[in-house]
């Protein structure tokens, strides 16, 4: 669980965001090294196992060194959707984005967060620093799967239908641009996103290119998709399968799994009196053999499940779907959520589709077949656009566990020279690696 | 002054007795994270092995304090830390951090001794002597540079070391997540610090106030946690789980 906290898409560790992002989020190196310093000879990304890479990320000494003086702030905007806030979700009320302004006229880069992540995610901090160093003002936006987005920006509060999620994102981007324009002089636009946010970025770029009102277009001059899902529902299906395989007892096995993990940590910890909890600790725990492959797989699966649990609970409450919280239960702000947590956490992605997404899109006069919902959230459906858009790049790893081999091949074929596919790195394990960040900055350089 | 010290010692003794009393069945140490409602038929190793079973009978109150802390953090502490970050340059803040960290060695030393951890006590004492002298009253940390890594022991861990259970989960105003045992531990550690009075500030109201303000600013600045940053409706449950298990690991160290 602790490892998942540090890197998974679920609980964001402790760092980043807020008023004073911690120095450990993106780099522990000396402040204000130039971008050029990142491009010297660098050891290759060291972790060959994709699941391990996904959990452990990049060792400190191979992380990109980024300026720590980037003026990262968090700005609030008015909700874009008029909706009563259920008191159990009121913590998520302010609609935030992470804003890093340049003092001089500069292009604005939008970053779309990955599954379940808010705009305060540590990856927002990392990418804001990287793109700020490359000369951009940066606005990092919450994922449509984040509770705060569902509450304040989603027309339909059951995320997962790509066209409506993208329309919501597009509306949010305009609101953010209007808000940011009072602070900065914007000379153009870039766009990126990671994981699900990368898939969404591709659809946003297409939405923009085909927008009816030319004045409303951003005309992104640079778009980078970082470890996108190709077929969103195939990818989440892989996460379900990973958890099934690595935790055969399913969710009921979680207490036992955590106990075993904690027992392993306890051994590592007891042998090293001066050891403290940080990323090095995770490496030490891993090296000491406290975790085997199945454990790592289970951690990733559980981290995704936690994101899903958050989203499913909020979707159920907001749409009165009567799947997790009974219709006649009105949860107060201080009510114990234990039973609802268990119910949400035991949902698979497949359950979410069957019990929440599909029913929502087939009630109150709406009628969208399941097959269409699945097809809409697949990059194959916009392959022609992706193949033709010279301003778009994709960065991924051949061993990314959310992708199948045919999907990696699809990205290679569709993007051709514009695909940067590394052999190792897992799912964003190499995101903060020097060469990844340098490639991103090189491409974004105005 | 003597009367006040006497009172402080009395208070500490009461707390120690109270806390030890809570973990009364010390001969069979209760697992740190087990719900007392667990049926007796469940094998002991399985009960100790359930990190999710956390005793939280005060949940309604705890949740209110959690929210109080989140609001205090947002409207008072973080803005104050922001000013602190703006006014004091990083080397100054690092120095202040080292200063408080050095004072913290007193409690770590005392608790290392109480747990009969000779090496930890030795390293901590050496660190304190070196950093207080060569490190200019603790503003610098040369001890770490010569390989004396900092230890971290407190009275909550000492109680845990001797088998005291955590008691129910607690959220303390301002201090955040805790439990009955650790809350008592905080009181004892603070009491010890008060009794020793290393800065000789007892009775000096402005000095005590300045100490406490900087202590709080430094503590908050060094804590990376942001309320509601997980974005999860279940954050209270997650923090509770992480805190209790983290403390269990520290006790085992």
Residue A175, domain member (yes or no): yes
Residue A338, domain member (yes or no): no
Residue B26 has pLDDT above 90, yes or no: no
- Residue A384 phi/psi, 5-degree rounding, is -65, -40
To the question of pTM greater than 0.90 for the whole model, the response is: no
For chain A, which residues score pLDDT lower than 70? 1-40, 268-291
Distance from CA of A319 to the nearest CA of B (A): 16
The pLDDT value given to residue A272:
62
A300 or B187, higher pLDDT: B187
Report the percent of chain B where pLDDT is more than 90.
Answer: 53
Q: In terms of Cα–Cα distance, which of A113, A225, A210, A91 is closest to A169?
A: A113
Region of poorest pLDDT, from A166-175, B24-33, B81-90, B143-152: B24-33
Residue of B nearest to A86 (CA): B233
Residue B238 and residue A11: Cβ atoms within 8 Å?
yes
State the average pLDDT for chain B: 81
Distance from CA of A187 to the nearest CA of B (A): 30
The pLDDT value given to residue B15:
32
> What confidence tier does B16 reach under pLDDT thresholds 50, 70, 90?
very low
Angle at A101 between CA A32 and CA A34, to 5 degrees: 20
The pLDDT value given to residue B31:
38
Domain interval for residue A22: 7-230+375-444
The pLDDT value given to residue A35:
44
**Beta strands, E only, A265-408:** 392-397
The pLDDT value given to residue A41:
76
Per-residue pLDDT tens for B153-185?
Answer: 999 999 999 988 889 999 999 889 999 999 999
**In sequence order, which ranges of A346-433 are alpha helices (DSSP H)?**
349-351, 358-360, 370-376, 383-388, 405-415
Residues of B in contact with A12 (CB under 8 A): 229-231
- Give the start-to-end residue ranges of the domains of chain B: 2-23+72-252
Cross-chain CB nearest to B81 (options A20, A263, A266):
A20
Residue A310 and residue B231: Cβ atoms within 8 Å?
yes
- Residue A151 phi/psi, 5-degree rounding, is -75, -45
> What interface predicted TM-score (ipTM) does this complex get?
0.81
> What confidence tier does B112 reach under pLDDT thresholds 50, 70, 90?
very high
Residue A205, domain member (yes or no): yes
Distance from CA of B2 to the nearest CA of A (A): 37
CA dist A100 and A172 (Å) reads 17
Residue B249 and residue A12: Cβ atoms within 8 Å?
no
> What confidence tier does B37 reach under pLDDT thresholds 50, 70, 90?
low
A226 Rama sector, left if φ>0, alpha if ψ -120 to 50, beta otherwise: beta
State how many domains chain A has: 1
CB atoms within 10 A of CB A109: 28
**CATH code at A19?**
3.40.50.1820
Residue A265 and residue B249: Cβ atoms within 8 Å?
yes
Per-residue pLDDT tens for A422-446?
Answer: 999 999 999 999 999 999 999 999 7
Residue B115 has pLDDT above 80, yes or no: yes
CB-CB contact of A145 with A313 (8 Å): no
Select from B232, B241, B248 the residue whose CB has the most chain A CBs within 10 Å, as the one to mutate to test that interface. B232
Burial of B186 (0-12, 13-18, 19+ CB in 10 A): middle
């Amino acid at each position: 669980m602790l490892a998942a906290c540090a890197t998974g898409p679920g609980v964001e560790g402790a760092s980043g965001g807020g008023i004073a992002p911690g120095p450990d989020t993106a780099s522990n190196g000396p402040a204000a090294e130039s971008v050029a310093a990142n491009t010297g000879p660098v050891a290759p990304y060291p972790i060959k196992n994709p699941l391990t890479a996904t959990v452990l990320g990049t060792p400190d000494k191979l992380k990109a060194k980024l300026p720590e003086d980037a003026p990262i702030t968090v700005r609030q905007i008015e909700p874009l959707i008029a909706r009563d806030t259920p008191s159990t979700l009121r913590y998520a009320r302010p609609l935030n984005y992470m804003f890093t302004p340049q003092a001089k006229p500069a292009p604005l880069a939008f970053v779309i967060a990955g599954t379940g992540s808010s705009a305060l995610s540590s990856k927002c901090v990392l990418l804001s620093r990287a793109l700020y160093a490359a000369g951009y003002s940066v606005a990092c936006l919450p994922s449509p799967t984040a509770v705060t987005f569902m509450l304040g920006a989603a027309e339909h509060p059951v995320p997962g239908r790509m066209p409506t999620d993208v329309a919501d994102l597009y509306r949010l981007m305009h609101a953010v641009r209007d808000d940011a324009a009072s602070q900065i002089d914007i000379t153009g636009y870039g766009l990126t996103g990671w994981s699900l946010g990368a898939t969404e970025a591709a659809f946003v770029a297409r939405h923009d290119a085909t927008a009816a009102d030319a004045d409303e277009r951003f005309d992104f001059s640079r778009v980078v998709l970082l470890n996108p899902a190709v077929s969103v529902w195939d990818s989440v299906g892989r996460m379900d399968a990973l958890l099934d395989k690595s935790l055969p007892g399913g969710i009921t096995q979680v207490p036992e799994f955590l106990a075993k993990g904690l027992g392993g940590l306890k051994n590592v910890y007891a042998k090293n009196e001066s050891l403290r909890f940080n990323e090095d600790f995770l490496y030490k725990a891993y090296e000491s053999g406290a975790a085997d492959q199945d454990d790592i797989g289970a951690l990733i699966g559980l981290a995704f499940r936690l994101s899903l649990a958050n989203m499913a609970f909020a979707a159920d409450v907001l749409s009165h779907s009567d799947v997790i919280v009974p219709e006649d239960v009105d949860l107060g702000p201080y009510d114990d959520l234990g039973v609802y947590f268990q119910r949400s956490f035991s949902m698979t992605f497949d359950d979410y589709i069957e019990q929440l997404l599909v029913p929502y899109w087939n009630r109150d006069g709406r009628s969208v077949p399941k097959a269409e919902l699945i097809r809409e959230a697949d990059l194959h459906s916009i392959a022609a656009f992706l193949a033709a858009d010279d301003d778009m790049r994709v960065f991924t790893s051949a061993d990314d566990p959310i992708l199948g081999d045919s999907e990696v091949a699809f990205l290679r074929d569709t993007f051709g020279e514009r695909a940067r596919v590394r052999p190792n790195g897992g799912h964003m394990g190499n995101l903060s690696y020097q060469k990844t960040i340098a490639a991103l900055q090189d491409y974004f350089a105005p | 002054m003597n009367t006040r010290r006497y009172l402080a010692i009395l208070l500490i003794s009461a707390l120690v007795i109270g806390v030890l009393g809570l973990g009364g069945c010390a001969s069979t140490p209760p697992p740190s994270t087990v719900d007392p409602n667990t049926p007796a038929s469940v094998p002991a190793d399985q009960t100790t092995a359930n990190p999710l079973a956390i005793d939280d009978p005060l949940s309604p109150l705890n949740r209110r304090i959690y929210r109080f802390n989140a609001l205090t953090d947002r409207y008072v502490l973080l803005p104050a830390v922001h000013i602190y970050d703006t006014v004091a340059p990083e080397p100054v803040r690092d120095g202040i951090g080292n200063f408080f960290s050095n004072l913290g060695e007193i409690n770590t030393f005392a608790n290392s001794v109480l747990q009969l951890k000779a090496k930890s006590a030795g390293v901590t004492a050496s660190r304190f002597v070196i950093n207080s002298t060569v490190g200019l009253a603790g503003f610098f940390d040369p001890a770490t540079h010569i390989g004396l890594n900092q230890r971290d022991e407190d009275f909550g861990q000492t109680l845990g070391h001797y088998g005291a259970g955590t008691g129910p989960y607690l959220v303390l105003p301002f201090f955040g997540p805790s439990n009955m045992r650790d809350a008592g531990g905080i009181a004892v550690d603070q009491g010890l610090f008060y009794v020793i009075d290393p800065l000789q500030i007892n009775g000096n109201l402005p000095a005590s106030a300045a100490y406490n303000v900087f202590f709080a600013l430094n503590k908050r600045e060094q804590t990376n946690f942001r309320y509601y940053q997980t974005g999860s409706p279940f954050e209270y449950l997650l923090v509770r789980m992480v805190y209790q298990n983290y403390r269990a690991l520290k006790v085992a160290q």
